[in-house]
């Protein structure tokens, strides 16, 4: 595997091309879709940089809550099933703390400027 250019660098170059060269030539709906496209690339960039550690942390929290091992999808499924059937109380402090930490990490990737992120993360 090569080290350079990194995936974030490639994404940055595409974002710059779209914003500086392509976007000025678009109007109406295409201009709108162009802004969405840039937002999508920026989210991918953040996921590459932050997604791995966020998921690792979520797995550690889930193991403690559920008292078992597994990958993220398996443990997250178990949590969802437990909340759905009532065997896990979402208002249990450890569960609340996990849900809160996980969603803060996710919104930092998806929409870091969203007002609700400031509300919840202080």
Partner 1 sequence: MSDLETALNAIAPQLGGKSVTGLRRLSGGASQETWAFSLDTGRPLILRRKPAGAGSPTGNANPLATEAALIRAATLQGAAVPEVLYVSAPGSDIGEAYVMSAVEGETLGKRIAQGEAFAAIRPKLAFQCGEALAKIHAIPLEGLPELARSSALDELEKYETVYRTLGARRPILEAAFKYLKDRAPPLARPVMLHGDFRNGNIMFHPETGVAAILDWELVHIGDPAEDMGWLCTASWRFGGGKPVGGFGDYADLLAGYEAAGGTPIPLERVLYWQMLGSLKWGVMCEGMYASFANGTDPSVERAMIGRRTSECEIDLMALLEQAA
Q: Residues interacting with partner 1, by CB under 8 A?
A: 28-29, 31-33, 36-37, 39-40, 43, 73, 76-77, 79-80, 83-84, 86, 90-91, 96, 99-100, 102-104, 106-107, 110-111, 114-117, 119-120
Under 8 Å between Cβ of 7 and 46: no
Nearer to partner 1, 1 or 91 (CB): 91
Closest approach, Cβ 12 to partner 1, in A, equals 18
Closest approach, Cβ 68 to partner 1, in A, equals 16
Write the CB contacts of 66 (distance below 8 Å, at least 6 apart in sequence): 75, 78, 79, 82
Closest approach, Cβ 55 to partner 1, in A, equals 14
What is the distance of C-alpha 38 from the center of its chain? 16
Closest approach, Cβ 22 to partner 1, in A, equals 13
Write the CB contacts of 101 (distance below 8 Å, at least 6 apart in sequence): 57, 58, 61
């Amino acid at each position: 595997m090569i080290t350079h250019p990194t995936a974030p660098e490639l994404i940055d170059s595409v974002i710059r091309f779209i914003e500086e060269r392509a976007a000025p030539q678009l109007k109406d709906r295409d201009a709108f879709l162009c802004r969405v496209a840039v937002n999508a690339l920026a989210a991918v960039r953040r996921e590459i940089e932050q997604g791995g550690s966020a998921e690792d942390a979520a797995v550690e929290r889930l193991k403690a809550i559920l008292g078992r091992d597994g990958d993220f999808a398996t443990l997250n499924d178990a949590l969802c099933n437990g909340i759905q059937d009532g065997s896990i109380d979402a208002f249990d402090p450890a569960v609340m703390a996990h849900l809160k930490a996980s969603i803060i990490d996710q919104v930092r990737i998806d929409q870091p400027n969203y007002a609700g992120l400031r509300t919840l993360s202080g």
